[in-house]
Structure 1
Amino acid sequence: MKSTLTAIALATAALAAQAQDKVTFLTSWYAQAEHGGYYQAVANGIYKKHGLDVTVKMGGPQVNGVQLLAAGQADFLMGKDFQTLNGIQSGIPLVTVAAVFQFEPQGMVTHPDVKSLADLKGKTILMATSARTSWYPWLKAKYGLTDEQTRPYTFNMQPFFADKNTVQQGYPGSEPYTAQQAGQPVKFFLFADEGYPPYGNTIVAMQKIVKDKPDVVRRFVTATLEGWKSYLQDPAPGNALIKKDNPKMDDGTLAYSHKVMKDMKFFDGGDAARMGPGTMTDARWQKTYELMVQGELLKPMANWKDAYTLQFVKAAKP
């Protein structure tokens, strides 16, 4: 009888050990190399090793990630600092738990004659509507630009190619590759190099999950950072899942974006070089908050620090 009870106890323990916490992660756009670490953590069983059954869902132009997160249809979101701070102001209890990229990868694509961002005066600037509530107020104030210079960016580079007096928004792993394939020489200026403070590719959750399931959050952050470290070393497993989710993604674009992320040290540069991947600091968040207030994108608020927590990046050891 004793041996039977022992066997049952062991079987129950084994089943408990095998149980995986189900987690849904929502990306910010169609699957691409900039999402590679999440897909890698699925492909290589890294999430499972940490007791997580993770589903990665693609975002896109018609997907309201914050709305889905708040409605409980996702547990974590690939977000942005401005988005989280705006959420706090609007009464949506978001919280950033890690920064996968130490720098926001947003920047400006220009023709070769542009020597610096200071040369943008007098240029036509193509940008998406979202730029007006994120990076453009900072850029405009820093370099004395005007709203009259701006035109809509339709995510088609032909207008830029056709007009040498035009510049446009872009990401280092995307638009410069498109230009290269079209035989068009360009320059790329990363806003972070000029002091733009937000983090990039952040992991955002609702404050409730941080309070109620801190161990799940800790394991998700740790496993994700492991996934990114693995992806940057050998992206093949993650790329296979990226192409499965987004069949329009090609090997050339993936390879180019992967190289750019490594070369620009988005994952392991900046503070991460000495404090470890995923790290964030109070000082950087304060700079972003102050930037938003100065740009009248945010009203001063006493609870702005609710937008982030450092507890999980301090605990993560990828």
Structure 2
Amino acid sequence: MLCDEGKLSIKCFLGTATLVLALTISQNVLGLTPHHIWGASLWGPVFYFVIICISLRLFLSDQNYQYAIRATFLGFTFSSSILVAILCPLKWKAFGVYGTMMSIFHYSEFLAIAWSNPSSLSTSSFILNHSLHYALAAISSWIEFLVEVNFWPEMKEYTIITVFGLLICLGGELLRKLAIITAHTNFNHIVSNFSTESPPPAEVCPFQFCETFQVQYKKSKDHVLVKHGVYSIARHPSYVGWFWWSIGTQIILANPVCVVIYAIASWKFFNNRVYLEEITLLNFFGEEYYNYQKEVPTGLPFINGYLLDNPITNQN
């Protein structure tokens, strides 16, 4: 069942998106916006967003406001991106499609946790502040798009490329959210918390490696190994979805440089992350996870995870 914070976020996301779209489209239909200046259509949404933010600050408590303002921002981004895709010249439409996928991804991350594991819910569940590297990657893709749309605008006018990237994004998004919902309370956005309690045995994890990557050694009482649903075809379906989603965003933008960079960077990131996480999972579940590794691949291309030559017994 959806928690109160999730319900509040839906009202803010959908309410903002509906208001911005309805008022902006009405402006255009009634001729209140100059048709020869397409950018003028986007000033209205900014004004509406500011008014909504002020209203939220006045009527909500601080904690609820923190959830609401993020959902509102994503609703604003979603609706504004739709307007860009509809109203802007062809060379800019791909950026509108990209914006809708970004806003859907980040909002649905929060909503999926609010539904499946509300006890771990926080403002970080929107993963808007994922990491500095994530922010730099996004900014670099925007810079590439802006450079190419100005110097080689014809690169951005191949609708079939945008559609292809959109399909990859949607597939990755669907897989990731299915993984989160299937894992239920066994999923959260925190992969590694350092603890010196109960370190894993040397044959599972060399101490130097664990100390460097800050592995969470202590398993929660209700943590179980999920092997059904999408986890029956891939050990890390949420990472598989995220991997292809990230590459799909750059195909949408027709960013040839960032497509390659994103593919390499995402592969290296998930290769390290899966390796680290499987050390922890072997420590948590012992032989059960060892057998699971033998039966199901990671799902990520050329990533095998942390594999042992011999089975181990559960240390818990």
TM category, shorter: under 0.3
| Higher helix residue share | 2
Which TM-score applies when normalising by structure 2?
0.25
Which TM-score applies when normalising by structure 1?
0.25
| Higher strand residue share | 1
Q: Greater relative contact order (Cα 8 A, min sep 6): structure 1 or 2?
A: 1
